[in-house]
């Protein structure tokens, strides 16, 4: 799953119009980033990348870019 | 019986999109719950898992554990009466009364036999469920569980039901953890909001006085012969609400996993290790 696809999946998960997220957004400013958002994110990463997000690292995430890094999504070259 | 809200996702732990609560209606309901997870692979047995939250909490307490547990099996987390988005009718307020309510919920969602994991009051409810219908409980995991004895902080429960400001809510929430935690502010706000809601506050007060105040006065030892299923316990070493149980309070030979840097919410504060312990136990029980 590439960065664009993952951002679109996050848009969908956070109930935002497709193409909204760019990676720089602060999580605290996203209305949908709540407990259900956390569950949805961990489940999304597991399903799309077969990786288990470590809760302790998720707690440190501040931006959408941090979520991408946790999911192991590579930055564009 | 009627079920509202988004269809449960199948095939993976979540699929794309946002997870949503569902509501099921039955006599004594409604019950709000969250369901996710995979059906077991062909040839494998993996009983579903029912997760029960603690006093003044809700199903979202499992936010860090559910998706990972759902990699192996179906997982359901339910809001208990008086909590979250389920009915606020707590009957006479006795925790034992939540067990028949849960059986009606399980019948309504079509869960016949499952593993049960409960946190704090949810562990107490899980024990009552296992006592009432042992044939339906494949295993029991007690996380910082109530229901084992009279030694717990009753004053804290009374304070939680009467939180008068967000600051006090945050103060109460901080007591749940061994150290600083990103969840404290969020939990503090929830505690304040529910104490400010008269119906919700009355429900919590009734549970406190009819179950926990009584238990603090007199609590006979648990007769574990009524529990034929495997049992394990998980605790935070720095739990300030329900202290670590003595070995004689648990079934003979039951594993007790203790996490040093965790308080009353080991499934949040030591989410990874707690989830691993739970997952391994369930897989072992399924295989035996």
Q: Using the beta-carbon criterion (under 8 Å), do A46 and B66 form an inter-chain contact?
A: no
pLDDT, tens digit, for every residue of B146-196?
A: 999 999 999 999 999 999 999 999 999 999 999 998 899 989 999 999 999
Domain-located, residue A76:
no
Both structure tokens of B158: 């009374």
**Token reading at B56:** 């003044």
Contacts of B30 (CB under 8 A, 6+ apart): B23, B24, B86, B87
Q: Which helix (H) or strand (E) holds B51?
A: strand B49-52
Across the range B7-16, mean pLDDT stands at 42
A69's CB contacts (< 8 A; 6+ apart) are none
Residues of A contacting chain B (CB within 8 angstroms):
9, 12-15, 32, 35-40, 42-44, 46-47, 52, 54-56, 58-59
Which pLDDT tens digit goes with each residue over A28-53?
Answer: 999 999 989 999 999 889 888 888 88
Dist CA B32 CA B72 (whole Å) = 23
Asked if the structure places residue A46 within a domain, the reply is yes
Query: Could you give the ipTM of this predicted complex?
Result: 0.82
Split at pLDDT 50, 70, 90, the class of A73 is confident
Contact at CB, A37 and B70, closer than 8 angstroms: no
pTM over 0.90: yes
CATH number (domain holding residue A39)? 1.10.1200.10
Q: Do A12 and B271 touch (CB under 8 A)?
A: no
CA distance B34 to chain A (A): 10
What residue of A is the nearest CA neighbor of B72?
A: A46
CA distance B114 to B138: 5
pLDDT at B7 (0 to 100): 42
Nearest CA in chain A to B270: A56
**Residue A25 lies inside a defined structural domain of this protein:** yes
CB atoms within 10 A of CB B226: 11
Residues 6+ apart with CB under 8 A from B41: none
| Angle separating helix axes B154-161 and B166-175, nearest 10 degrees | 150
Q: Which residue of A has its CA nearest to B64?
A: A55
The answer to whether the CB atoms of A13 and B271 lie below 8 A apart is no
User: Bigger pLDDT: B4 or B80?
Assistant: B80
Mutate: best of A43, A44, A59, partner B, most B CBs <10 A = A43
Whether the CB-CB separation of B106 and B76 falls below 8 Å is answered with no
**Residue A77 in domain:** no
Establish if A57 belongs to a structural domain: yes
Q: Is residue A18 part of a domain?
A: yes
Domains along the sequence of chain B with CATH: 2-153+221-287 (3.40.50.1820)
Q: What total number of domains does chain A contain?
A: 1
Beta carbons of B274 and B234 less than 8 angstroms apart: yes
- CA A68 to chain B, closest CA, distance in angstroms equals 16
Write down the pLDDT at residue B219.
86
Distances from the Cα of B140 to the Cα of A29, B50, B64, B115, angstroms:
39, 10, 20, 6
Residue A35's domain comprises: 3-71
Compute the mean pLDDT over every residue in chain B, rounded to the nearest whole number.
Answer: 92
Tell me whether residues B36 and A39 touch, CB distance under 8 A.
Answer: yes
Interface test with A, best of B6, B9, B16, B265 (most A CBs within 10 A): B16
Tell me the chain A residues in contact with residue B66 when contact means C-beta distances shorter than 8 Å: 39, 42-43
pLDDT tens for residues B83-104?
A: 999 999 999 999 999 999 999 9
Cα atoms in the 13 Å half-sphere on the side-chain side of B36: 31
User: Does residue A28 lie within any of the structural domains?
Assistant: yes
């Amino acid at each position: 799953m590439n960065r664009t696809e993952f951002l679109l999946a996050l848009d969908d998960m956070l109930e935002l119009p497709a193409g909204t997220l760019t990676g720089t957004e602060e999580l605290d400013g996203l209305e949908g980033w709540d407990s259900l958002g956390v569950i949805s994110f961990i489940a999304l990463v597991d399903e799309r990348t077969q990786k288990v997000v470590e809760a302790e690292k998720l707690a440190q995430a501040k931006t959408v870019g941090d979520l991408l890094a946790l999911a192991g999504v590579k930055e564009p070259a | 019986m009627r079920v509202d809200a988004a269809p449960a996702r199948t095939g993976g732990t979540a699929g794309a999109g946002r997870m949503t609560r569902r509501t099921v209606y039955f006599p004594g309901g409604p019950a709000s719950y969250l369901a996710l997870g995979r059906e077991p692979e062909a040839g494998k047995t993996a009983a579903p898992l029912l997760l029960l939250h603690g006093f003044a909490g809700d199903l979202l307490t499992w936010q860090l554990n559910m998706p990972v547990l759902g990699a192996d099996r179906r997982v359901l987390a339910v809001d208990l009466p008086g909590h979250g988005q389920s009915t606020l009718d707590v009957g006479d307020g006795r925790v034992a009364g939540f067990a028949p309510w849960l059986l009606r919920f399980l019948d309504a969602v079509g869960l016949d036999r499952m593993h049960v994991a409960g946190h704090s009051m949810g562990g107490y409810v899980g024990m009552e469920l296992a006592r009432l219908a042992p044939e339906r409980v494949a295993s029991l995991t007690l996380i910082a569980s109530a229901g084992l004895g009279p030694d717990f902080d009753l004053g804290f429960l009374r304070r939680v039901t009467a939180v008068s400001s967000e600051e006090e809510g945050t103060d109460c929430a901080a007591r749940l953890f061994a150290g600083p935690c990103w969840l404290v502010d969020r939990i503090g706000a929830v505690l304040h909001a529910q104490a400010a809601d008269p119906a919700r506050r009355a429900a919590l007060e009734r549970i406190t006085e009819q179950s926990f105040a009584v238990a603090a006065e007199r609590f006979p030892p648990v007769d574990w012969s009524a529990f034929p299923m495997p049992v394990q316990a998980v605790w935070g070493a720095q739990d300030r609400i329900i202290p670590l149980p003595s070995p004689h309070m648990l079934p003979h030979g039951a594993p007790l996993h203790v996490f040093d840097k965790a308080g009353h919410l080991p499934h949040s504060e030591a989410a990874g290790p707690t989830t691993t312990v739970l997952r391994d136990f369930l897989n072992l029980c399924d295989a035996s």
